[in-house]
Structure 1
């Protein structure tokens, strides 16, 4: 005869295992399909309130347990050098350690929020700002910016900007460009909406540019496909990002961070995905035709040192083209 305690323990273990399976299935289905909590409640025979609580608690648990292993900010010289080398070998842009851009995530308009979350495309959103490496993995994410804010404004007040100002990613380490004695710092690449910094390169504005500047813009735009394709991958795999997330903004922030982490985990486990040439983010927020918005006239004005760094890249690419 099986002791009652053993029977109870076995039942508890069986129920716990089943509950964990249902929890994981409900959360991944919510992320992958964007089904409402009510629809998932019908599927798993629980209330929509319970489904919401499961999604919130599981998302936080995933972030707490797995973020350190799959989405940490590179801090060692070996990690930074590896990223820089892979950008050079694959994308032919030297001293690059990441590409930055922002994506608007549609949300339900929070109560008493006025127009804070209303973006330039006239819907309500929070902003996901991400930095991607050469393998389409996120190096860093910043979630929770108001939809009305510009990319440059969000970046200037982000933890990422603070880390770069303090030398993160080797932003204050001057390294010679390949085959030359020209020294520039490690840089990340952004579009026209970002400020020009010694560690953040953006394209030359305007159309009447000389050939050297046009060449630089082409090189930079080609590499920036990395972050645009990264947003495209997570939007196509995790369909929730294509719909309005109907929970409170703080909850949305947790969900979006968790999806970014799951994106990195999938690549770590299954390897880098093959990206088709047109797999940029289907959300038009990341196309070059979008209007460039500034929060102030001087927001994106670079320093003399930043202009000097960009001019050195221009000279380097021009010399490469003639060799």
Structure 2
């Protein structure tokens, strides 16, 4: 009975999770307008969904927390809606392995998504690509950005960049959090076999989440004020979303891997309002390089620009990427 109900939910709601199919739809994802991070087509992350130990297995589903799990990998848009999900990867598999096992990875590597072409940001001249934002668990690529891990002095351009990226990436964290707080099956290990049924349980929850997020008359009840974390604009302090309180002691939902303390510190760094209010919203500075440094940057990063390079930190992670104001 349960498998039939789950498959019916997925079939009825199948159109509520889908990727954009053209450039206009990708651009409409709207991270620039809502979260001040231009050229972003989604935030991605993964979670371990804890299950009972499958029969006749040794360590395939065993994860770093010492439990057994399958992985929910997802990409969300700027409105906390899932645009892509992959469920079922064994808990032992590394973060990079999970992403590389998805159909999304294979398609984006083959340039099959009709992504917008690289183009300059407003008021700029250098073309930059459209990208996904992720945490340090994922590899840097031409379509994936993650935080810097060095040179993070207070007020440094990389620190500001990390704040901006973490602010955008927080959307997928909040989407996962809401999912776990509403669907209580995630609050403890799922007592089902690691087969299509447990995968369909997770998928059904994700589809229902998107359905409720897209209904005007239900989204307020599903996501009441205070559900997601937000900022106090006067102090820059993070106000934790209510889902964090609800899921604080849950054992059925875990991060994809051990995240270095830096990532959490960078994400919560919003309380340093001095540089945030003074510098985050100001336009990037022009970076002028010596001829030798210019050649080094061009050689290392495949750039094609004039002697005066206008760089935006959302493009490449290199020493020259320091255009946010100190």
**Structure 2 length normalisation: TM-score?**
0.70
Aligned length: 255
Cα pair distance change 1:218/1:313, threshold 3 Å: farther
Please state if 1:243 is matched with 2:166.
Answer: no
Please state if 1:93 is matched with 2:37.
Answer: yes
Q: Contact 1:216/1:317 (CA < 8 Å) preserved in 2?
A: no
Given candidates 118, 129, 144, the residue that maps to 2:88 is: 144
Distance in 1, matches of 2:120 and 2:191, equals 49
Please state if 1:285 is matched with 2:255.
Answer: yes
Cα pair distance change 1:236/1:310, threshold 3 Å: same
Q: Which runs of 5+ in 2 are unaligned?
A: 230-238, 264-299, 304-310
Q: Contact 1:216/1:314 (CA < 8 Å) preserved in 2?
A: no
Q: Contact 2:43/2:172 (CA < 8 Å) preserved in 1?
A: yes
Distance in 2, matches of 1:196 and 1:232, equals 25
- Aligned residue for 1:224? 169
Cα pair distance change 1:305/1:164, threshold 3 Å: farther
Query: How many angstroms does 1:291 deviate by?
Result: 11
Given candidates 178, 181, 185, the residue that maps to 2:122 is: 178
Distance in 1, matches of 2:79 and 2:214, equals 10
Alignment of structure 1 residues 20-39 onto 2, 5 Å: none
- Aligned residue for 2:79? 135
- Aligned residue for 1:202? 146
Please state if 1:115 is matched with 2:59.
Answer: yes
Distance in 2, matches of 1:319 and 1:124, equals 44
Please state if 1:191 is matched with 2:139.
Answer: no
Query: How many angstroms does 1:234 deviate by?
Result: 0.4
Cα pair distance change 1:143/1:189, threshold 3 Å: same
Distance in 2, matches of 1:229 and 1:187, equals 20
Distance in 2, matches of 1:215 and 1:196, equals 18
Query: How many angstroms does 1:105 deviate by?
Result: 0.4
Distance in 1, matches of 2:177 and 2:314, equals 31
Given candidates 11, 20, 38, the residue that maps to 1:74 is: 20
Q: Which runs of 5+ in 1 are unaligned?
A: 1-53, 293-303
**Structure 1 length normalisation: TM-score?**
0.71
1:242-262 CA distances to partner (integer Å, 9 max, x unpaired)? 111111222111111111010
Distance in 1, matches of 2:219 and 2:23, equals 24
Distance in 2, matches of 1:224 and 1:190, equals 6
Query: How many angstroms does 1:193 deviate by?
Result: 0.8
Distance in 1, matches of 2:83 and 2:302, equals 23
- Aligned residue for 1:58? 5
